[in-house]
Amino acid sequence: MGQAGATAKETGQMAEARRDLLARSAHPGLYRALADRGYDQPTPVQAAVLGPEAASRDLLVSAITGSGKTVAFGLAIAATVLGDEPRFTRAREPLALVTAPTRELALQVRDELSWLFIYTEARIVSCVGGMDIRREQRALAQGAHIVVGTPGRLCDHLERGRLVISGLQILVLDEADEMLDLGFRDEIEKILGGAPAGRRTLMFSATIPKAITVLARRYQKDALRIATSAADEPHGDIEYRATPIVASERDRAVVNVLRYLDVRGALVFCSTREGVKRLHGNLLERGFAVVALSGELSQPERARALQALRDGRARVCVATDVAARGLDLPDLGLVMHADLPRDRNGLLHRSGRTGRAGRKGVSLLLVPAGERRRTERLFSSAGIRAVWSPPPTVDQIRARDQERLVREIIALTDDPAEEDLAAGQRLLAERRPEELAAALVRLRRGLLPAPEELTELPPPPRRGAPAAPHLGPRPPRTGDTAWFRMNLGRAGNADPRWLVPFLCRRGEIHRSDIGEIQILEGETLFEIARPVADRFAESVRRRDGKHDGIRIEAFRARRGRGSRRAAGS
């Protein structure tokens, strides 16, 4: 047998072993619920939790987002609190407690556990910030087998005596690293410290930083460390792409990427609330079905936005990092980083919103001029190989539209109604078939947001390439010019082909007002005609560095090429 055949056989044997493990080790009620949903083989993290070495032990689990963690700790909860019993008895004080960092994630966990425990008659209660606290109080008073909540709200109920955890048999911390990042350390330690000493403690975390290790050492006993992937390993179902852009054209690049890929669901990240608001407005204006998520929204507003995404009324969500924590959106095929993530963990966390439950996804970074090297370092630190490609052009988008429209229109011809056929015959009596088909194409194309014209960037310079010559427009050298400096040079992919239109837009001048351009390694020096120099300086002062980090300042030339000093210095 060849190597490929042997590998396929081994893979098949591993899959069969995992199926047997699920059938033998999962609680019968949960096994039945999983079978109803078509699940007959556990994911690696679920198989690890079901393994004999994990039975009855504390667990410290690191697994990538979307790996089936909720079902995994659901299986562990059932093994701990039900044992061989087919179903729960009357609900009193909770037997299991699950904490999650955000409202959305806690409610998703509650819903997931609800169908998983449907045949066990489990009573599951959620306690999350932003919801009716009196309703939660009544639900707790009626008894619960499993409680799911956010740290702050759980501590609120603990302090008021509404939540009693003295009978807990198992405590689960979901997304433990995020809870620490969000500042819930005190609340987590209060919950852990108040739970009975003999309970099981399961910590699930995408990464295991030092703070999590310290927490585990303090509150867990002989914990089994489970890692279903290498630390901070990128998700295998996510394709990473990087697209260089002119920073001032970011929103237009977002439009073209969304139009070209045309995925059912897309999540676009901005670094600030203001950035979310601006991009959301721009996409709405262009005709996209888009919602926004940021920390300033109320819980009902967030719930409406998420529901619009889940039922298909919206296809794009623009969000900050904090607002998107814990989101589990269906059919999310694209994560776009309109603003670059701060670090490796930010990149992996954002990107992990797609490529879930075995589906493929794309994580695409829009990389402003001057940020390419930092982005390459970011990919390197995360162990990611990304494909670099320019943003889609108008022609490419229209060609892709043509393919989609043909398929969509052909699909409309299936099983036409009698009245539609009658209308079609009347139209054929008035116009030729190709004219009617063209009209239908034009009608459907008119419903699509228009693609944007973008500046074409040159390829990055080769390492060790010679210095760029003095390039750019050269008006008559009368000496009546002013020198300016920009904090972007060859290392940042500076090139006159995009610098000239960029300076014209930012400085509100004409290309004929730009004189000599000197592109150095880390900066660019250029001339502006004296009659428009003051207006140029004022315009760039209003816009400088607010969103793209590019700064422009006046310079005074001294005698000799390349010798410049700042005006007024």
pLDDT digits (tens, 9 = 90+) for 5-43: 444 455 556 667 778 888 888 999 999 999 998 888 888
Coil, helix or strand for 483?
strand
For 132, phi and psi rounded to 5 degrees?
-70, 110
H/E stretch holding 556: strand 552-557
Give the mean model confidence (pLDDT) for residues 177-183.
81
Q: Which tops the pLDDT comparison, 493 or 84?
A: 84
Nearest Cα to Cα of residue 65 among 332, 376, 461:
332
Nearest Cα to Cα of residue 101 among 49, 149, 66:
149
Question: Would you state the structure tokens that stand for residue 62, as one six-digit string?
Answer: 């690191």
Q: Which amino acid, residue 271?
A: S
State the pLDDT at residue 565: 37
Residue 479 clears pLDDT 90, i.e. is over it: no
Q: Which tops the pLDDT comparison, 348 or 3?
A: 348
Is residue 282 very low, low, confident or very high in pLDDT (cuts 50, 70, 90)?
Answer: very high
DSSP β-bridge partners for residue 242 = 365, 388
Nearest Cα to Cα of residue 391 among 452, 461, 462, 316:
452
What CA–CA distances, in Å, run from 60 to 22, 28, 206, 227, 514? Answer: 21, 25, 11, 8, 61
Question: What are the DSSP calls for 376-414, one per residue?
Answer: HHHHHHHT---EE-PPPPHHHHHHHHHHHHHHHHHHHTS
Q: What is the pLDDT of residues 141-161, one digit of tens each?
A: 999 999 999 999 999 999 999
Question: What are the DSSP calls for 187-243, one per residue?
Answer: HHHHHHHHS-TTSEEEEEESS--HHHHHHHHHH-SSPEEEESS-TTPPPTTEEEEEE
What are the E-state strand segments in 36-113? 59-62, 96-99
In this predicted structure, which of 125-139, 397-411, 492-506, 544-558 has the lowest mean pLDDT?
544-558
Q: Determine the angle formed by the axes of helices 28-36 and 3-25, rounding to 10 degrees.
A: 130
Is residue 183 very low, low, confident or very high in pLDDT (cuts 50, 70, 90)?
Answer: confident
Q: In 82-162, which residue ranges form alpha helices assigned H by DSSP?
A: 103-116, 133-141, 151-159
The whole-angstrom separation of Cα 42 and Cα 249 is 45
Nearest Cα to Cα of residue 498 among 339, 394, 391:
391
In this predicted structure, which of 212-226, 301-315, 416-430 has the lowest mean pLDDT?
416-430
The whole-angstrom separation of Cα 146 and Cα 108 is 14
What domains can be seen in the chain, in order of their start residue? Answer: 19-227 (3.40.50.300), 238-392 (3.40.50.300), 395-442 (no CATH), 470-566 (3.30.70.330)
pTM, rounded to two decimals = 0.59
Q: Which residues 6+ apart lie within 8 Å of 273 measured at CB?
A: 294, 295, 296, 320
Residue 394 clears pLDDT 70, i.e. is over it: yes
Q: Which tops the pLDDT comparison, 459 or 74?
A: 74
Give the mean model confidence (pLDDT) for residues 421-447.
75
Q: How many CB atoms lie within 10 A of CB 201?
A: 21
